[in-house]
Chain A
Amino acid sequence: MTSDAIGYPVPPRSDQRRVLGHPVPRIEDRPLVTGRGLFAGDVAFTHQLHMRVVRSAIAHGRIARIDTAVALRLPGVAAVWTSADIPGIPPVDFRDASRAADEIKPYRQPVLAIGRVRYVGDPVAAVFAEDPYVAEDAAELIEVEIEPLPTLMSASDPPGEFDDGRSTAPLTVRHSYGDIDAAFAAAHAVIELDLAIGRHSGVPMETRGAIGFYDAAHDVLELHGAAKVPHRNKDTLVRMLKLTPAQIHLYEGHTGGGFGVRGELYPEDVLVLVAAKRFGRPVKWIEDRRENLIATNHSRQQRHRIRAAVDKDGRLLAIDDEFFHDQGAYVRTHGASVVGRTMSMLTGAYKVGAYHAAGHYRLTNKTPAATYRAPGRFEGSFVRERVMDAIAAKLGIDRVALRRANLIPATEMPYTIVFDEKGAEKLPLDSGDFPGFFDKALAHFHWGEVEAGVKARRAAGELAGTGVAFFLEEAGRGPRDGAQISIDTSGAVEVVTGGASLGQGFETVMAQICAEALGVDYRAIRVVHGQTDRIAHGIGAHAARATVLTGSAVHATAVKLRGLALGYAAELLQTPAAELDIIDGVVRKRGIPGAPLPAGPSITLGDLARRVGPASDLLAGRNPGLTAQAWFTTAHTVFPFGAHFAVVRIDAGTGRVTVERLLVAYDVGRAVNPMMLEGQLVGGAVQGLGGALFEEFTYGENGDPLAVTFADYLLPTLSDVPRIETLITEDAPSPRNPLGLKGGGEAGINAVGAVIASAIDDAVGIPGAVTQLPVTPQRMREILRKRGR
């Protein structure tokens, strides 16, 4: 089905399902708790070389000289490369080469720096050695002489020079609709804010790794340690290395967290492949933590100057936002998509009369940036909800009432936002009663009582506050994904997908969906993902796509396979297919729910597979085997939504913000596994607290990164966070897929920055006090000083 199709019927809830929608244990856990995982660092080939990357220690400069002679003399060193050794290798390309703007193509990152370095961490040379310790020794012996150039450390500063004659301001993206000038002219009040989101990122516990292997016998290059988007990266590598699709394959093992940053295509991935082929030996590279903090994608850093026009009741007549996006030193695989996503989702679930946003995409001398869980939404929700709090304060309207009044009413759903700009994707919100959901969430949090209690604490002198934020999410980007499912002669089921697992429970989700449709035990299903030699197409795991898109493809395939199996069984059991069911892998006569199974002939799926093998006389012209392949196609994404509520207290002496409560309320459409969805919401929320309060990649004026260890870059620990509360509702299934799915990977983090800012404002009694994330103790103390305490 293609669609604008608002069209699938409301799917059943879990109480009418066997396994779909139930909080069953994961099938991927056993190897992980017994130490038998296969993470990138665990991959090893005989006779492998180890790569070490020499990185620039200067944030911006011309490369005057690279002296590798001493390093090459070190025993155990096989080779040292600079850009001169890989002349035909192009810069790391965009994932969607056809969709990326031409203006940003010259800003892609070379695999090894050519002529200039542009951030501390920029790869300038690569050492290949017999032993990783020797590779590091050799890297230290390489002399890199760089003539410094002026650094540009702020995206909102006047642009500088990226290259001779090329500025650091390649692109401004715009989204708009309605008559913005008229709306501001008619406004009862105008609110203006200057807001900043700090530079932070996903920082998975496993650093990156890449192992290149060249199978000379078959002329196939292999990249192990792939993650997130193996199939898409294969396509990019085919273009970059001028290969045919059959000449390269990517293999995903276990992945120690992704969060958007892990699994993108980076210079090191290209280097190990080129080296493996040239040396005829496997090449292994494992990133260390310092590299991870300066070389893996950063994210989030933006500065917004936003104006809102409202009527006397606080209704949003118009929003005008100009923002500066700090891309860092190069454009990476996403091009400018975070800028586009920031502005398309900025208005969230509110109805806004007129809208204009201009996002200035700026290069600076910092680590390149790209997507991190809820890209553009964490940022946009912070900005939008700051505006809502500011309007409430200015007009003297209650924060909750103001939000409720501005939410798109249920009567206007589905609601489509269309932007004037050519090529700007419209936003067709599919389902939901936003005000009704908000009321439910407020009641669950006991907002009224909580707010009254916190007010009393403030009156007693405590710095305590409540925060609220409403957010919109997006998931399930198409256009399509496919799956293959087969049942072998033992009855075992294999689901082959082009999805990826970053630890989110992909295998269990797909197994539950398949098991429900097929009628087998979900634990007996093997789920394949991230292996490009098993299936030609795959979307990987990003932007909360896996459950919605790949899950719908698995559902469609399982339904098809069930039909095939029942058809054969009907012939063998001499019973009409409509009277048959598959229960725990056995085809038998359909019974009445709750009653004992009816007597009659039955056949296991394994036996059935054997009966339709290649030698079978049952086939009558049909292909042998119990196997099916199907696709799911959709024209539009789906739009889950939610709200965050928080209580914080502030220590006036230290500036420490303690989060006492945080509730993530979320309508997911339909949850495949509520236990795992809750895990996603809780984990996401805690990551969000990192970006709201602790984590920041800071730099010195000359571009030196100041957060290069876990002692400087502070991930939330167990003692920094409260028990996160969740409210999962299933009131608004998506009509855009058969299972009503909406995806859940990014909801936990979306509005955490927003809700913590709201709560801090409330605690200190200064509307608009928080203008910048993260609110570190230093920044908190600055706010308190201004307040006069």
Chain B
Amino acid sequence: MPEKFDITLNINGRDYPIRVEPRRTLVDAIRDDCGQTGTHIGCEHGICGACTIILDDYAVRACLMFAVQADGRRIRTVEGLADGDTLHPIQQAFIDHHGLQCGFCTPGFLMLAVNVLERQPDIGDDELLDVLASNLCRCTGYQNIIKAVQAAAAEMRKA
């Protein structure tokens, strides 16, 4: 058995002390070692974006990192978006604008969008579309995702 390392993942403000092999991907650790299965695995080669999380202040693909690389860093996942029963504006916007069908790619899109809107609240449409084009969706044809993110952007600017 390969050697294992003790690390701590901080997910949505809570510490998860775990013991992992150095080759264990971050997404596997988040899902299987920390039980946060809202982050999904779509391709494991960094193209689909279903596993997008926010690491410190940047959206990253959790399938392209090892868990040990995230030791001690701040991770945000879809489970941390809502405030109790109150949905985050982006979650509400996806419901209101039918921005999801099967919902498998949704957590990745939510984290991608939240990250860009937090960093650039006044982002222009073209740049926003460029960012959203980095994730794949197979159900919606994207246009309701765009509508939802634009609506959430407006809502978040108000707040």
Q: In the complex, what residues of A have CB within 8 A of residue B142's CB?
A: 686, 717-718, 721
Q: How far is the CA of A435 from the CA of B133 in the complex (A)?
A: 39
Q: Check if A718 sits within 8 Å of B132, measured CB to CB.
A: yes
Q: How far is the CA of A35 from the CA of B11 in the complex (A)?
A: 14
Q: Check if A682 sits within 8 Å of B95, measured CB to CB.
A: no
List CB contacts (< 8 Å) of B119-148 with chain A.
129-130, 132-134, 136-146
Q: How far is the CA of A717 from the CA of B39 in the complex (A)?
A: 20
Q: In the complex, what residues of A have CB within 8 A of residue B38's CB?
A: 34-37
Interface centre among B21, B78, B141 (most CB of A within 10 A): B141
Q: Check if B138 sits within 8 Å of A33, measured CB to CB.
A: no
Q: In the complex, what residues of A have CB within 8 A of residue B136's CB?
A: 205, 710, 715, 717
Binds A, one of B54-62, B66-74, B105-113: B105-113
Q: In the complex, what residues of A have CB within 8 A of residue B104's CB?
A: 37, 39, 204-206, 254, 256-257, 503
Residue of B nearest to A36 (CB): B38
Q: Check if A37 sits within 8 Å of B103, measured CB to CB.
A: yes
Residue of A nearest to B1 (CB): A75
Q: Check if A25 sits within 8 Å of B96, measured CB to CB.
A: yes
For chain A, the bracket of interface size reads 35 or more
Taking the closest CB of chain B, its distance from the CB of A787, in whole angstroms, is 31
Q: Check if A34 sits within 8 Å of B103, measured CB to CB.
A: no
Q: Check if A41 sits within 8 Å of B110, measured CB to CB.
A: no
Q: Give the residue of B41, B42, B77, B94 whose beta carbon is less than 8 angstroms from that of A29.
A: B94
List CB contacts (< 8 Å) of A657-677 with chain B.
675-676
Q: Is A567 engaged at the interface, CB distance under 8 Å to the other chain?
A: no
Q: In the complex, what residues of B have CB within 8 A of residue A699's CB?
A: none
In the complex, the number of residue pairs spanning A and B with C-beta atoms less than 8 Å apart equals 168
Q: Check if B42 sits within 8 Å of A257, measured CB to CB.
A: no
Q: Is A42 engaged at the interface, CB distance under 8 Å to the other chain?
A: yes
Q: Check if B50 sits within 8 Å of A205, measured CB to CB.
A: yes
Q: Is B82 engaged at the interface, CB distance under 8 Å to the other chain?
A: yes
Interface centre among B40, B43, B48 (most CB of A within 10 A): B43
Q: Check if A719 sits within 8 Å of B130, measured CB to CB.
A: yes
Q: Give the residue of A36, A44, A683, A711 whose beta carbon is less than 8 angstroms from that of B101.
A: A683
Q: Check if B45 sits within 8 Å of A289, measured CB to CB.
A: yes
Q: Is A8 engaged at the interface, CB distance under 8 Å to the other chain?
A: no
Residue of B nearest to A725 (CB): B143
Q: Is A350 engaged at the interface, CB distance under 8 Å to the other chain?
A: no
Taking the closest CB of chain A, its distance from the CB of B48, in whole angstroms, is 6
Q: Is B154 engaged at the interface, CB distance under 8 Å to the other chain?
A: no
Q: Is B7 engaged at the interface, CB distance under 8 Å to the other chain?
A: no
Q: Check if A26 sits within 8 Å of B133, measured CB to CB.
A: no
Q: Check if A33 sits within 8 Å of B110, measured CB to CB.
A: yes
Q: In the complex, what residues of B have CB within 8 A of residue A502's CB?
A: 102
Q: How far is the CA of A257 from the CA of B79 in the complex (A)?
A: 21
Q: In the complex, what residues of B have CB within 8 A of residue A289's CB?
A: 42-45
Q: In the complex, what residues of A have CB within 8 A of residue B77's CB?
A: 35
- The answer to whether A718 and B146 touch (CB under 8 A), given A133-B23, A205-B138, A710-B45, is yes
Q: Check if B103 sits within 8 Å of A686, measured CB to CB.
A: no
Q: In the complex, what residues of B have CB within 8 A of residue A724's CB?
A: 141, 143
Q: Give the residue of B47, B100, B105, B133 whose beta carbon is less than 8 angstroms from that of A719.
A: B133
Q: Check if B79 sits within 8 Å of A204, measured CB to CB.
A: no
Q: Give the residue of B31, B32, B95, B134 whose beta carbon is less than 8 angstroms from that of A33.
A: B95
Interface of A is mostly: loop
Q: Is A30 engaged at the interface, CB distance under 8 Å to the other chain?
A: yes
Q: Check if B95 sits within 8 Å of A26, measured CB to CB.
A: yes
Q: In the complex, what residues of B have CB within 8 A of residue A381's CB?
A: none
Residue of B nearest to A255 (CB): B102
Contact mask for chain B residues 18-34; partner A; CB cutoff 8 A; 1 contact, 0 none: 00010110000001100
Q: Is A679 engaged at the interface, CB distance under 8 Å to the other chain?
A: yes
Q: In the complex, what residues of A have CB within 8 A of residue B103's CB?
A: 28-29, 32-33, 37, 254, 256, 503
Q: In the complex, what residues of B have CB within 8 A of residue A718's CB?
A: 129, 132-133, 142, 145-146
Contact mask for chain B residues 68-91; partner A; CB cutoff 8 A; 1 contact, 0 none: 000000000111011000010001
Q: In the complex, what residues of B have CB within 8 A of residue A76's CB?
A: 1
List CB contacts (< 8 Å) of A698-745 with chain B.
709-711, 715, 717-719, 721, 723-724
Q: Is A439 engaged at the interface, CB distance under 8 Å to the other chain?
A: no
Q: Check if B47 sits within 8 Å of A711, measured CB to CB.
A: yes
Q: Check if A29 sits within 8 Å of B143, measured CB to CB.
A: no
- The answer to whether A683 and B141 touch (CB under 8 A), given A710-B136, A715-B136, is yes
Interface size on B, residues (CB 8 A): 55
Q: How far is the CA of A683 from the CA of B137 in the complex (A)?
A: 9
Q: Check if A39 sits within 8 Å of B101, measured CB to CB.
A: no
Q: Give the residue of A25, A33, A37, A288 whose beta carbon is less than 8 angstroms from that of B91.
A: A33
Q: Is A375 engaged at the interface, CB distance under 8 Å to the other chain?
A: no
Q: How far is the CA of A394 from the CA of B78 in the complex (A)?
A: 58
Contact mask for chain A residues 204-247; partner B; CB cutoff 8 A; 1 contact, 0 none: 11110000000000000000000000000000000000000000
Q: Check if A29 sits within 8 Å of B141, measured CB to CB.
A: no
Q: How far is the CA of A37 from the CA of B106 in the complex (A)?
A: 11
Taking the closest CB of chain A, its distance from the CB of B128, in whole angstroms, is 10
Q: Check if B143 sits within 8 Å of A723, measured CB to CB.
A: yes
Q: How far is the CA of A36 from the CA of B77 in the complex (A)?
A: 12
Q: Check if B141 sits within 8 Å of A33, measured CB to CB.
A: no
Q: How far is the CA of A709 from the CA of B46 in the complex (A)?
A: 10
Taking the closest CB of chain A, its distance from the CB of B24, in whole angstroms, is 7
Q: Check if A34 sits within 8 Å of B133, measured CB to CB.
A: no
Residue of A nearest to B147 (CB): A723
Q: How far is the CA of A42 from the CA of B42 in the complex (A)?
A: 13
Q: Give the residue of A30, A42, A256, A721 whose beta carbon is less than 8 angstroms from that of B102.
A: A256
Q: How far is the CA of A296 from the CA of B43 in the complex (A)?
A: 14
Q: In the complex, what residues of A have CB within 8 A of residue B48's CB?
A: 205, 710
Q: Is A640 engaged at the interface, CB distance under 8 Å to the other chain?
A: no
Q: Check if A503 sits within 8 Å of B139, measured CB to CB.
A: yes
Q: In the complex, what residues of B have CB within 8 A of residue A35's CB?
A: 36-39, 77-79, 81, 107
Q: In the complex, what residues of A have CB within 8 A of residue B100's CB?
A: 29, 32-33
List CB contacts (< 8 Å) of A21-63 with chain B.
25-26, 28-30, 32-37, 39, 41-42, 44
Q: Is A203 engaged at the interface, CB distance under 8 Å to the other chain?
A: yes
List CB contacts (< 8 Å) of A95-130 with chain B.
none
Residue of A nearest to B108 (CB): A205
Q: In the complex, what residues of B have CB within 8 A of residue A285's CB?
A: none
Q: Give the residue of A203, A255, A679 whose beta carbon is less than 8 angstroms from that of B140.
A: A679
Q: In the complex, what residues of B have CB within 8 A of residue A282's CB?
A: none
Q: Check if A41 sits within 8 Å of B41, measured CB to CB.
A: yes
Q: In the complex, what residues of A have CB within 8 A of residue B132's CB?
A: 718
Q: How far is the CA of A203 from the CA of B107 in the complex (A)?
A: 19
Q: How far is the CA of A44 from the CA of B31 in the complex (A)?
A: 11
Q: In the complex, what residues of A have CB within 8 A of residue B79's CB?
A: 34-36
Q: Check if A503 sits within 8 Å of B144, measured CB to CB.
A: no
Taking the closest CB of chain B, its distance from the CB of A134, in whole angstroms, is 8
Residue of B nearest to A289 (CB): B43
Q: Check if A682 sits within 8 Å of B36, measured CB to CB.
A: no
List CB contacts (< 8 Å) of A245-296 with chain B.
254-259, 286, 288-289
Q: In the complex, what residues of B have CB within 8 A of residue A678's CB?
A: 98
Taking the closest CB of chain A, its distance from the CB of B45, in whole angstroms, is 6
Q: How far is the CA of A25 from the CA of B140 in the complex (A)?
A: 15
Q: Is A637 engaged at the interface, CB distance under 8 Å to the other chain?
A: no
Residue of B nearest to A682 (CB): B141
Q: Check if A257 sits within 8 Å of B138, measured CB to CB.
A: yes
Residue of A nearest to B132 (CB): A718
B contact set with A: CB distance below 8 Å: 1, 21, 23-24, 31-32, 36-45, 47-48, 50, 77-79, 81-82, 87, 91, 94-96, 98, 100-107, 110, 129-130, 132-134, 136-146
30 contacts between A and B (CB under 8 A): A33-B87, A34-B78, A34-B91, A35-B36, A35-B39, A35-B107, A39-B104, A133-B23, A133-B24, A203-B138, A204-B104, A205-B40, A205-B50, A205-B137, A254-B103, A257-B102, A257-B104, A286-B41, A289-B42, A503-B139, A505-B101, A679-B98, A682-B140, A682-B141, A710-B136, A711-B47, A717-B133, A717-B134, A723-B143, A724-B141
Beyond contacts A34-B87, A39-B104: 11 other A-B pairs, Cβ-Cβ < 8 A, are A34-B81, A205-B104, A207-B42, A286-B41, A503-B139, A679-B139, A682-B144, A683-B139, A685-B141, A711-B47, A718-B132
What are the 3 A-B residue pairs with the smallest beta carbon separation, nearest first?
A: A35-B38, A503-B102, A256-B104
